Amino acid sequence: MTDIGKEQFFWIVAGMLEAGRLTITAPPDQPLLITHCEHEMPKSVARTCAQWHVSVPGSIYVARCRT
């Protein structure tokens, strides 16, 4: 948060919360890249991303971070 500031952090969190309320009824009709960093918070992000990848045929899953 210190790198991006409170306001930008607020908008990122608000967008994530809104996305979490979306109901996706069909797989996307375009390539889907699912990714996260090992430093994600909460830690359940990694587990959720891996499960999402398994449930979407043809998706690409990348779990890494450049520091």
Q: Which domain holds residue 47?
A: 6-63
Average pLDDT over residues 13-41: 77
Highest mean pLDDT among 5-9, 22-26, 44-48: 5-9
Residue owning tokens 């309320």: 21
The band of 65, judged by pLDDT with boundaries at 50, 70 and 90, is low
Count of domains for the chain: 1
In a domain, 1, yes or no: no
In a domain, 29, yes or no: yes
In a domain, 24, yes or no: yes
Angle at 66 between CA 31 and CA 20, to 5 degrees: 50
pTM of structure: 0.53
Considering the chain, what is the average pLDDT of its residues?
Answer: 79
Nearest to 63 by CA among 15, 47, 54: 47
pLDDT of residue 1: 60
In a domain, 46, yes or no: yes
pLDDT of residue 17: 79
